[in-house]
Structure formats: structure tokens, C-alpha cells
């Protein structure tokens, strides 16, 4: 696993940059801590193959209903899951609004300062390392709690924020939204040597170039994209404020909405919120600029509706970012209420699958003129009856479906809970081998001492027999790195 032990190229300015993200906390190795049962935080040890060597902790309020949302919250360097749970304020809103929280936790075994490795393609890209472990946690928790798959969100602080941006880019089919707190744009750095440049300076990229870093993280994905909240302090000397602007440029370009704010408002703690709306007038991106805040997570201790958390190292008394992030995601409201009053259809069931299709049925909703069927968050049909067959699907693949009723005026009601349909047939074939043997087999190529997957051109690391990866052939001759995802 990646270590930040100071040697060779890691010495001097690069190490200083990473240390700057982490200085000030002196905690024991996070994995040495037992689960904090007193506050309801529990450790889960059997969530998957865990290619990124992470620990999983979770919190769920008593009586959590089916189809509740799920939030993934990622700590900063030298912090832990229990530390983030105790200070960030997410427990308050999980109890109040009704959702579960998963806290991934890294350790000094992965990174000497217990940072998530947001700058390492072996850890932060689709199907690989720590990113794959986080998605395994989502799958485990979603099955455990009956989560609404259209309401899974991820947030993180500092290095956890950098990993959050990478997760949103690599898994837009998993996360409906995210929040990057004092973090970095997706794929800003792809090596430790480049990390300090991202932290401290302007990368001088256009919005389109930033957007391409997201689009290239999951080639061929056409949306929907996650809704992204960005939190940045104006006095942050660890992650320069320009990172907030670059994140804004990146995600507005992905959404195709431009970089001129649709609206601004003043919030507590010297905070200015700028929103960037999609074509329906709903905010797709929000930039929260906190005047005078240095590096950390904005909290606001107190009993008020819009207050939360407790202060500490890197937990700063300005504004309750968790409250405003949760409202931006819509956690305080029923899912997809739409403009109409029609309830969500009940009884959504998968009635059959083939290698290219899936059939669904549900109970009729009184007053409905038709229904909207969503596959992985995208509308794919509008039948007038209570059944639908989706076609043109990939073999051996899982798809998530929800349904909403539409009244005669065209107003859409609430969406149903999600069901999963897995098509029959063989899934895309996977191959596990050393980089050298992938190249000799024609699944990858090498250049400048590094290996790249054919088709996706993903960097697989050094061209030698000591590095092993799994490649998935998603279409003839097109391979993607799929470590832990096959």
C-alpha cells in the first residue's frame, strides 16, 4: 500500500504538502480503536473483499424505514471514523431526517498519516483499491437497510474530500450527490509528486478540461450526474481557495450549466452560497465560500435547527455544513416529491429477466394517467399500465429501477423504492494477470515504463511482473481496470 514515509521523491516540498494536510493531530492508529457502541457507531467486518484495506463503520437511527437514504462520510488525515462521527453533526440529522451513515476509515497501513489516497490511481479510480472498498460498503449497507438506491450520497473532509470527488467521478451510477469539504477536484493529481501543486496552486485548466477528468473516469457514462456541494474557506492555506473555484468549474462543466451563478445568498458564519441550476431550475452545483475559515470542516455547536457538531482540531465554528449539505441533497424532504400529490407506487417487482431485458410490474395508483420508469436514475419509459419491459441491456448486469405515478396534468408524484434486476447471461469477461502478461495477451499496452489498458487507456502502473490487476472487457477490445469489481 502507498506510504508517505519520507524517502527519495517524497522528501522536501512534496512531503511538506501532505504533512500540511495533516499536521496538528496526534491520535493512535484508527484501526486500533474499538467500535464506539455508546454512540451507536458499529464496526462491520464482512462487507466484501475490501481491496483498499479500509475499515467500515456505520450508524443508523432506531426504526430506520425501508427506502431511507444513505450517506457515506469520509474523515480527514490523522482522523478516524469515530472522530468524524462525534464532531461532524451527521448523527443529528440521521436521527432527525431518517437515514443511515457509513464511515469508511483508513489507517497508517495504507498511508503513514492515515489519509485517503486521493492522488493515487491504484486507489481512487473505478474498481480499484480504496474506491472499490467504499462502494462495497455502500452495497453492504444498502442491502442491510433496504436503502433507496437513488438517494446515496458521499461527503468528505480534506483528503477525504479529494477521495469524495474521485468517487463521484468514478461512480456517478452509485452516488446521487456529494459534498467536497476543503478538498480537491476529481483527478487533480495522479501521483504523490503532483499533490502539492493541487493543494497550493491554480492548475490553469479550463472548465472543459476539468470536466474531462470526470468524464474520463467512467468512459461512456451519459448521466445522470451527481449534484455537488463544495465547501471552501477563504483563509485556507492547506488547500488553497482556488480549489473551490476549480471544483465549481469542473462540475458545472459536467452538468453543462456554465460558471455564472443562478443565484447567491448570505448564510450564517460569513458564508456565501452560490448555486448553479440545471435546465429544470434545480441547483446542480453549490459553492459555499466561508469567509475567514482556515482548513477544516465547518460546524456550529448548539441546539438550533441549523446548528450541529462540536469543535476540535479541523472542526471549526462557523456554520453547520452538514445541515446545508443535507438540505441541498434533499435529505429533509420525501424523495422526489415532484409537483403532484400522487403517492409512490407500491409493490414494484421484477417479474422476469433475459440477457438483454428486464420486466417490471407494480400496483396501480388511483388518479394516475401514466407512470415514469427510471433505470439507475434515468427515465427509460412512460407506460400507461402497471408493467414495463426494459430492453437493450447488458448481459449479467445489475440495474436499479424506481417508478413514479403521473397525473393527467403531467405532474409527477413520489418515486417508489428501488428494486434490482440482474440480467441473465454472462457478464463481461474479466482477466487477472500481471501487467506484463496483460500486454503480451493484447489486453494492454506499455509506454514510458507504464502499462495502460487497451480501450480505456487507464494507467495500470509499472510494466513488470510484480504488478497485478484485473481487466474487464466491457466491449470487444475495450478493457477497464476492475480490481475488486468482477
Active site residues: 158
3-state SS assignment for residue 83: helix
Copy the grid coordinates of residue 321: 455544513
Backbone angles phi, psi at 115, to 5 degrees: -95, 145
Strands (E), 17-78: 42-44, 55-59, 70-74
Radius of gyration of the chain (CA): 22
Question: Cell match 477497464: residue?
Answer: 480
Cα distance between residue 227 and residue 330, in whole Å: 11
Q: What distance in Å separates the CA atoms of residue 65 and residue 61, rounded to the nearest whole number? A: 10
Q: Quote the Cα angle for 408-411-416, to 5°.
A: 105
E-only strand ranges, 143-300: 152-157, 177-181, 227-233, 263-267, 271-277, 283-290, 297-299
d(CA 115, CA 128): 17
Dist CA 175 CA 329 (whole Å): 11
Classify strands 70-74 and 100-105 as parallel, antiparallel or unpaired. Answer: parallel
Amino acid at each position: 500500500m502507498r506510504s508517505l514515509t519520507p524517502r527519495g521523491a517524497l522528501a522536501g516540498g512534496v512531503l511538506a504538502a501532505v504533512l500540511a494536510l495533516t499536521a496538528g493531530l496526534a491520535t493512535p492508529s484508527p484501526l486500533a480503536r474499538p467500535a464506539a457502541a455508546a454512540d451507536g457507531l458499529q464496526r462491520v467486518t464482512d462487507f466484501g473483499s475490501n481491496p483498499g484495506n479500509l475499515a467500515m463503520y456505520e450508524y443508523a437511527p432506531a426504526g430506520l424505514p425501508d427506502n431511507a437514504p444513505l450517506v457515506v462520510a469520509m474523515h480527514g488525515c490523522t482522523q478516524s471514523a469515530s472522530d468524524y462521527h462525534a464532531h461532524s453533526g451527521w448523527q443529528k440529522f440521521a436521527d432527525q431526517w431518517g437515514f443511515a451513515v457509513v464511515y469508511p476509515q483508513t489507517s497508517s497501513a495504507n498511508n503513514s498519516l492515515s489519509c485517503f489516497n486521493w492522488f493515487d490511481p491504484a486507489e481512487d479510480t473505478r474498481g480499484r483499491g480504496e474506491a472499490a472498498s467504499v462502494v462495497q460498503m455502500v452495497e453492504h449497507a444498502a442491502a442491510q437497510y433496504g436503502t433507496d438506491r437513488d438517494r446515496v450520497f458521499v461527503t468528505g473532509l480534506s483528503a477525504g474530500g479529494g477521495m469524495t470527488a474521485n468517487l463521484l467521478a468514478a461512480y456517478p451510477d452509485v452516488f446521487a450527490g456529494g459534498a467536497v469539504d476543503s478538498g480537491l477536484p476529481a483527478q487533480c493529481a495522479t501521483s504523490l509528486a503532483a499533490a502539492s501543486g493541487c493543494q497550493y496552486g491554480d492548475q490553469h485548466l479550463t472548465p472543459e478540461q476539468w470536466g474531462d477528468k470526470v468524464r474520463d473516469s467512467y468512459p461512456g457514462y451519459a448521466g445522470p450526474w451527481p449534484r455537488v456541494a463544495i465547501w471552501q474557506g477563504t483563509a485556507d492555506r492547506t488547500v488553497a481557495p482556488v480549489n473551490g473555484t476549480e471544483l465549481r468549474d469542473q462540475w458545472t462543466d459536467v452538468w453543462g450549466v456554465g460558471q455564472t451563478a443562478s443565484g447567491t445568498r448570505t448564510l450564517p458564519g460569513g458564508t456565501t452560497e452560490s448555486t448553479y441550476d440545471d435546465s429544470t431550475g434545480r441547483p446542480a452545483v453549490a459553492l459555499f465560500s466561508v469567509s475567514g475559515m482556515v482548513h477544516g470542516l465547518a460546524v456550529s455547536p448548539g441546539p438550533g435547527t441549523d446548528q450541529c457538531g462540536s469543535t476540535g482540531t479541523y472542526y471549526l465554528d462557523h456554520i453547520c455544513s452538514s445541515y446545508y449539505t443535507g438540505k441541498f441533497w434533499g435529505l429533509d424532504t420525501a424523495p422526489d416529491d415532484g409537483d403532484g400529490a400522487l403517492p409512490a407506487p407500491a409493490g414494484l417487482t421484477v417479474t422476469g429477466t433475459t440477457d438483454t431485458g428486464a420486466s417490471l410490474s407494480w400496483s396501480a395508483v388511483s388518479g394516475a394517467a401514466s407512470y415514469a420508469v427510471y433505470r439507475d436514475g434515468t427515465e427509460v419509459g412512460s407506460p400507461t399500465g402497471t408493467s414495463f419491459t426494459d430492453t437493450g441491456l447488458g448481459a449479467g448486469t445489475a440495474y436499479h429501477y424506481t417508478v413514479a405515478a403521473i397525473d393527467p396534468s403531467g405532474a409527477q408524484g413520489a418515486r417508489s423504492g428501488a428494486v434490482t434486476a440482474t440480467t441473465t447471461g454472462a457478464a463481461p469477461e474479466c482477466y487477472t494477470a500481471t501487467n506484463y502478461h496483460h500486454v503480451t495477451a493484447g489486453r494492454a499496452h506499455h509506454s514510458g515504463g507504464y502499462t495502460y489498458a487497451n480501450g480505456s487507456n487507464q494507467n495500470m502502473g509499472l510494466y513488470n511482473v510484480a504488478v497485478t490487476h484485473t481487466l474487464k472487457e466491457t466491449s470487444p477490445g475495450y478493457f477497464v481496470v476492475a480490481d475488486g469489481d468482477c
